[in-house]
Structure 1
């Protein structure tokens, strides 16, 4: 598909592709960087991208950011910290103080990583149920107590964007507040959660954890409104990542069915697989149009909230990525299940994408509400 990109954007995408071919182009390279897929982020590789100036896309256009996310995901570059860092940087750029913007937005551009802590054991999709509480402490600061869970990349992040309750009661959106909490703050304990995807998510335990008043992001009690303002970016980031994953899973599958022979000819020549490939390719093209159309809408007016479009792009692209990866595993047969090949990693990455950042069910509910239902 021919997107309406500038020459600079095309050159940017090509440079990312070339970089990934050199640095992560072989399975041996990727295994060395990730301990055989255990880790999702390699700071050394990430720093190389920062030194090239690429992480400055967080301060550029949404289209540029999507290009970076799509092409690094396609190249299987282990820079998992970028997605959460860019979400945090987006919140800080909108609501943070000048000092916070310098430290977080500027820090992300130079290779620092950040995480976000919102979900709790009893509050996932239902953000209003959050109970982790921050109460006034000495010198105008706050004392935080409670637990957060499923916090991506907190185990290597420099700081964490925390959403805690400063007023109201669980069940109310009012009274939520954002804080930037350095990862080494006394009273904060980070504990990894073992998953089929490796080391990527964590439990966070806050016990009399004190943060100064300048840790508040935006306005006390306005955290819900601030979260809603960031939904365009968060869902678009996840969609762009899964677009790259879907494309890579498709190309890996296509390469396999062209080479693998059964009954005297390549299996891709059989109508059943040929038609399946055609359907998957069409779905990916639809996703690409939706991702970059949504990015263009964001660039036209970054302050405009796009609940329908952002939910649609997240829903469609993550579900297509899951479909492509599972179809790839099926067409590759036993090899698709073997750790010798990347397909089983594509499957694991795609499966969870329909859960984090708002499940597919939540996205459908939001879309339905935008039609007055």
Structure 2
């Protein structure tokens, strides 16, 4: 099987890597990540003008890519630069609209691609423990519209989003897959309250409360009670994105560590000349290649039947979680005390690798999910 990227994808990767290296260096990125907004609106527009956002969507939705490997190429480059702009939520919300939205809702994807609107994915809830079907937020039919009541946690870029994609239960019990519905909620709608804060790995997120939020009938995405399949499908692309981003970050952490071992001297010799450290580094390189293989497998399976697709996605997330933590730990240890300093970019890559594990389900969650899916398929 040929895993080489197409010429178009290689050109996209080269363009994006060059742009990030020239315009999104670590000092610029750190300033953006610590800003009150948590991202740069002008930089977001420049990414849109480069066509980077469009690469995440199919031609039918106004993009020019949309395959699993297109997503992987973009997010691997973003991981190399620790980019904090709202790519992940744009991908997930756009995919959800493409999967289940009506004509007017699908038309919104164009405004996501050109960067004129920002969307946030509001699904996780306090105490949900990554369970996608555990939704306590309620939506009740009121006349021709809906009334939402509940709370969402760790919503990326919610403070500056134009619209939130909110999951709410319209029927069934708290853990039921059936009965979950999706709604497009304007951030400035009456009853929507957003409490923002800085994230440890850069950028901002928020807790969102929905207090008797009234919505029209046109806010419902897809059929009432049938939102779980859309959530699963859209989140699948998010998992490919996160795993690819992690591989990009791992590559940079590896390169920085190798450079340090070549130049830092101890007892009159470079650290890299000591056999024990060579063995540790060789093991780490093999682990990173294993992580890359898991991403390739997940990207290739994104269009497969549900069980095959979800197993590949969970397997990739388990692999990324385990190896990402090891890369972070080993890179810092091999750098010694300097590896923990704020001024060294490596510390920020290590933080991001650790936090990727906690987005869209951590290693333990996806290991249990992989086992359950395997038993169901047996």
C-alpha spacing 1:267/1:11, structure 2 compared with 1 (3 Å):
same
Alignment of 1:1-373 (within 5 A): 3-25=3-25, 27-35=26-34, 40-59=38-57, 60=65, 61-79=67-85, 81-103=86-108, 105-111=109-115, 112-138=117-143, 140-298=144-302, 301=304, 306-372=309-375
C-alpha spacing 1:20/1:199, structure 2 compared with 1 (3 Å):
closer
**Alignment deviations for residues 82-120 of structure 1 (CA, whole Å, 9 cap, x no partner):** 0111011111111111111111x2122111321111122
Shift of 1:28: 2.7
Shift of 1:121: 1.9
Shift of 1:194: 4.7
C-alpha spacing 1:372/1:55, structure 2 compared with 1 (3 Å):
same
Contact 1:190 1:203 in 2 (8 A): yes
- Whole-angstrom CA distance in 2 between matches of 1:219 and 1:305: 25
Contact 1:167 1:176 in 2 (8 A): yes
Aligned Cα root-mean-square deviation (Å): 2.1
- Whole-angstrom CA distance in 2 between matches of 1:200 and 1:32: 13
C-alpha spacing 1:15/1:128, structure 2 compared with 1 (3 Å):
closer
Corresponding residue number in structure 1 for 2:62: none
**Alignment deviations for residues 324-355 of structure 1 (CA, whole Å, 9 cap, x no partner):** 11111111111110111012211211112222
Shift of 1:370: 2.7
Contact 1:298 1:304 in 2 (8 A): no
C-alpha spacing 1:266/1:148, structure 2 compared with 1 (3 Å):
same
Contact 1:231 1:307 in 2 (8 A): no
- Whole-angstrom CA distance in 2 between matches of 1:200 and 1:293: 31
Shift of 1:371: 2.6
- Whole-angstrom CA distance in 2 between matches of 1:229 and 1:17: 28
Contact 1:132 1:145 in 2 (8 A): yes
- Whole-angstrom CA distance in 2 between matches of 1:266 and 1:40: 39
- TM-score by length of structure 1 reads 0.92
Shift of 1:157: 1.7
C-alpha spacing 1:45/1:108, structure 2 compared with 1 (3 Å):
same
Shift of 1:160: 0.9
C-alpha spacing 1:371/1:3, structure 2 compared with 1 (3 Å):
closer
**Alignment deviations for residues 140-161 of structure 1 (CA, whole Å, 9 cap, x no partner):** 1111111111212212222111
Contact 2:291 2:320 in 1 (8 A): yes
**Alignment deviations for residues 57-79 of structure 1 (CA, whole Å, 9 cap, x no partner):** 12112211210110121123332
**Alignment deviations for residues 161-190 of structure 1 (CA, whole Å, 9 cap, x no partner):** 100011123233322100011111111001
- Whole-angstrom CA distance in 2 between matches of 1:348 and 1:304: 32
Runs (4+) of structure 1 moved beyond 3 Å?
A: 126-129, 301-305
Shift of 1:46: 1.6
Shift of 1:43: 2.0
Q: Which runs of 5+ in 2 are unaligned?
A: 58-64
**Alignment deviations for residues 219-261 of structure 1 (CA, whole Å, 9 cap, x no partner):** 1011223222334312111111111111111111111111111
Q: Which runs of 5+ in 1 are unaligned?
A: none
- Whole-angstrom CA distance in 1 between matches of 2:114 and 2:337: 42
- Name whichever of 225-234 and 318-327 sits farther off: 225-234
